[in-house]
């Protein structure tokens, strides 16, 4: 049996690190965990959700990891309806609200400035 315990980081390729940092910190309320030089003039950048958990590394595009993808990242929200309205008012690309009918939790999708898709789901 393995001794794996947590997911510690998810990598998301972005077109512009500064734009991505601004989106994840100012729009989504994440905190900047690290922004440091990383060999050959590159940078290593990680952000984290306000209540902890796995960090998100905002990486350079690569042939096998291009921006503009479904990330598979799901964020929990105590009030997805309010978050949806706030993000929409901030002109973030959000889907319509889905579910919330008792069988499916209320959820929606959003896209960051590099067109990466994340899901926001009701914390039940």
Is the pLDDT reported for residue 114 higher than 70? yes
Enumerate the domain spans of the chain: 9-122
Q: CA distances (Å), 57 to each of 36, 63, 95, in order?
A: 12, 17, 24
* CATH fold label, 9-122: 2,3-Dihydroxybiphenyl 1,2-Dioxygenase; domain 1 (3.10.180)
Can you tell me the mean pLDDT for 34-61? 92
> What is the Cα–Cα distance from 49 to 66, expressed in whole angstroms?
23
The candidate with the shortest Cα–Cα distance to 99, out of 70, 72, 124, is 124
pTM: 0.84
Task: Report the candidate in 28, 23, 72 with the shortest Cα–Cα distance to residue 50.
Answer: 28
What is the pLDDT, as a whole number, of residue 4?
67
């Amino acid at each position: 049996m393995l001794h794996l315990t947590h997911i510690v980081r998810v990598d998301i390729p972005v077109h512009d690190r500064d734009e991505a940092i601004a989106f994840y910190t100012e729009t989504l309320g994440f905190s900047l965990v690290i922004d440091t030089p990383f060999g050959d003039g590159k940078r290593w950048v990680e952000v984290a959700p306000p209540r902890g958990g796995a960090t998100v590394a905002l990486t350079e595009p690569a042939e096998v990891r291009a921006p503009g993808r479904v990330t598979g990242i799901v964020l929990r929200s105590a009030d997805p309806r309010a978050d949806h309205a706030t993000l929409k008012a901030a002109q973030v690309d959000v889907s319509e609200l889905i579910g919330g009918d008792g069988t499916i939790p209320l959820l929606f999708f959003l896209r960051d400035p590099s067109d990466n898709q994340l899901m926001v789901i009701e914390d039940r």
